[in-house]
Amino acid sequence: MFTKLSIVAPAAFSIIALISSVSAQCNSGGLMCCDSTQDSKTPTAFNLLAPLGVVLQGLSGQIGVGCTPVTVEGGQVGSVCDSHALCCAGRVPNQSGNLFGLSCTPFSIG
């Protein structure tokens, strides 16, 4: 019994440390994986978000398009996002069920 505990406990602490590390680095909001990005000041960003009632005035950084929240599963973060990893201050659902990330900055995973 103690052998199993001595093997499981360090693994659990490693996962907690990894989650804490990712959270500490993305402290402005949620970590998102997005299909593409747009500068928040472009007409394209306005055309995407205005129909959803999002006011772009005061937004900075990038807008994430086609985003899903990044989760940590089994301690593996790097394999979760093959596109644009972004740390976004806000999110808005779109018609396709994905999300738009608001006021995003690029984030390095792994």
Do residues 63 and 48 make contact, with C-beta atoms less than 8 angstroms apart?
yes
- What pLDDT does residue 14 have? 33
% of the chain with per-residue pLDDT over 90: 39
- What pLDDT does residue 77 have? 52
pTM above 0.75, yes or no: no
Alpha-carbon distance of 84 to 60, in angstroms, equals 17
Alpha-carbon distance of 98 to 83, in angstroms, equals 14
- What pLDDT does residue 74 have? 56
pLDDT, average across residues 19-33: 64
Residue range(s) defining the domain that contains residue 28: 2-106
- Our count of domains for the chain comes to 1
Task: Summarize pLDDT for 45-85 with one digit per residue, the tens.
Answer: 999 999 999 988 888 899 999 999 887 665 555 446 788 99
- What pLDDT does residue 2 have? 47
Judging by beta carbons within 10 Å of its beta carbon (0-12, 13-18, 19+), is residue 86 exposed, middle or buried?
buried
